[in-house]
Amino acid sequence: MTKPKNAFYAQSGGVTAVINASACGVIETARQHQDVIGKVYAGRNGIIGALTEDLIDTSSEPASAIAALRHTPSGAFGSCRYKLKGLEQSRAEYERLIEVFKAHDIGYFFYNGGGDSADTCLKVSQLAETLGYPIQAIHVPKTVDNDLPITDCCPGFGSVAKYVALSTLEASFDVASMCKTSTKVFVLEVMGRHAGWIAAAGGLASTEQNELPLVILFPEIEFDQQKFLARVDALVKQHGYCSVVVSEGVKTPDGKFIAESGLRDAFGHAQLGGAAPVIANIVKDGLGYKYHWAVADYLQRAARHAASATDVEQAYALGRAAVELAIKGENAVMPVIVRETDSPYTWSIGQAPLSEVANVEKKMPRDFIADDGFGITDKCRTYLQPLIAGEDYPPYKDGLPQYVRLKNESVPRKIKGEFKL
């Protein structure tokens, strides 16, 4: 019997509350199949770890530490923003990958990321054909942006959506209490540079039983200042207050991000980031209402303390499925979430060829956004609702979540010389 090949696992791009749950699924499942998969080596700081032969030996972590990944946000092995280009432009990098894979007897490549990573993963899956190195590459989906095609949703998104929905709910209750003599408009800025999936989740805070005066600003809808002010004013006149959920990707009619449209520091430099203060200023100047604003930034995607149980379960299941696909001999595929029914929500794991995933962006359908452009439709609600369902609290000690930090022991280097990134 031949010695089983080792696996390489890496986290790519912005991290999430549940990407480590996928890592947990990959590693726990691989450990159950040591006849087929040897050790799981993780890339320190993502694919950079492979390029620089900076590998982490996950086999030195006890089962309890790996299990704790399921409830630990962020990327336990480090992630990176580093895009491999096509084989022609980045041939040296692909050759280096092969050199490292060969040196460490790696036959499986698990890449946990979004659209760009799917593209890289596809290219790695073709190394057998293109550069003669046999490897199976499986992509594990992850992105808070929820913009991967085919899969019903992307791990990481459900937990951000839950955070945004409950933050919108809680802040709206706060403003409702204060509006008689103080704050009347609250503005919450959320992520989503290209798509309004995350902003849409704010709409879940308002339900039939508990209607809230909300205005959502989507990147898909050109910002119309007069229409926006009229809507805010009407809601404040009717309810006494309103909450605005603004996507960081909202643009002015001239195509600029609204966050870059106004603020300057004392030296006249454009102040990047901050759609919320710009919107709050527009409200103040246009209507004179007292406002407050918040920018959730990393808090939203790191909020494992308020993660969606559905999201955690799916993230883990996709990690597990990736290994199972590898064991079945698959290559160039991504396990996906298949929605079976909306209510009760049921789902299963399917698979998609990477060629249909790479570089395809799933936009938010126009019929998920209300006609006036300021809210979500019932169709959108039906889609989003199950994704935030269920709580999966991390264990706490002394008042804080007990997140794990792995030892992250290095695999001894086998290759002489440095690789220049």
Residue positions annotated with a catalytic role: 145
Nearer to a second copy (CB atom), residue 210 or residue 348? 210
Residues 309/406, Cβ–Cβ less than 8 Å: no
Say whether residue 207 binds a second copy (CB under 8 A): yes
What token pair was written down for 343? 């209510």
Say whether residue 399 binds a second copy (CB under 8 A): yes
Say whether residue 22 binds a second copy (CB under 8 A): no
Nearer to a second copy (CB atom), residue 45 or residue 136? 45
Separation between Cα atoms, residue 46 and residue 7, nearest integer Å: 14
Say whether residue 177 binds a second copy (CB under 8 A): yes
Stretch that binds a second copy, among 28-36, 94-102, 219-227, 289-297 (CB under 8 A): 289-297
Whose tokens are 């390029």? That residue is: 51
Peptide bond before residue 353 is cis, with ω within 30 degrees of 0: no
Stretch that binds a second copy, among 127-135, 199-207, 218-226, 366-374 (CB under 8 A): 199-207
Nearer to a second copy (CB atom), residue 17 or residue 100? 17
DSSP codes joined into one string, 272-341: -S-HHHHHHHHHHHHH---EEEEE-THHHHH-GGG-BHHHHHHHHHHHHHHHHHHHTT--SEEEEEEEEE
Say whether residue 328 binds a second copy (CB under 8 A): no
Alpha-carbon distance values, 238 to 59, 170, 205 (Å):
60, 20, 18
User: Measured from the CB of residue 18, what is the shortest distance to a second copy in angstroms?
Assistant: 12
352: left (phi over 0), alpha (psi -120 to 50) or beta: beta
Site for a second copy in 246-285 (CB under 8 A): 261-266, 269, 271, 273-274, 276-278, 280-281
Chosen residue from 131, 150, 229, 294 binding a second copy by CB under 8 A:
294
Q: What x-and-dash track marks residues 68-87 binding a second copy by CB under 8 A?
A: ----xxxxx-xxxxx-----
User: Measured from the CB of residue 114, what is the shortest distance to a second copy in angstroms?
Assistant: 14
Say whether residue 66 binds a second copy (CB under 8 A): no
Query: In a 3-state reduction of DSSP, which class is residue 259?
Result: helix
User: Measured from the CB of residue 87, what is the shortest distance to a second copy in angstroms?
Assistant: 22
Start-to-end Cα distance in the chain: 38
Separation between Cα atoms, residue 13 and residue 144, nearest integer Å: 10
Nearer to a second copy (CB atom), residue 3 or residue 267? 267
Which residue in 308, 349, 313 sits closest to 138, CA to CA? 349
Separation between Cα atoms, residue 5 and residue 388, nearest integer Å: 38
Nearer to a second copy (CB atom), residue 295 or residue 380? 295
Site for a second copy in 220-239 (CB under 8 A): none
Chosen residue from 18, 37, 160, 295 binding a second copy by CB under 8 A:
295
Residues 341/155, Cβ–Cβ less than 8 Å: no
Chosen residue from 67, 401, 410, 413 binding a second copy by CB under 8 A:
401
Separation between Cα atoms, residue 365 and residue 199, nearest integer Å: 14
User: Measured from the CB of residue 364, what is the shortest distance to a second copy in angstroms?
Assistant: 19
Nearer to a second copy (CB atom), residue 38 or residue 156? 156
Give the DSSP letter of residue 217.
E
User: Measured from the CB of residue 50, what is the shortest distance to a second copy in angstroms?
Assistant: 13
Say whether residue 304 binds a second copy (CB under 8 A): yes
Nearer to a second copy (CB atom), residue 137 or residue 388? 388
User: Measured from the CB of residue 386, what is the shortest distance to a second copy in angstroms?
Assistant: 8
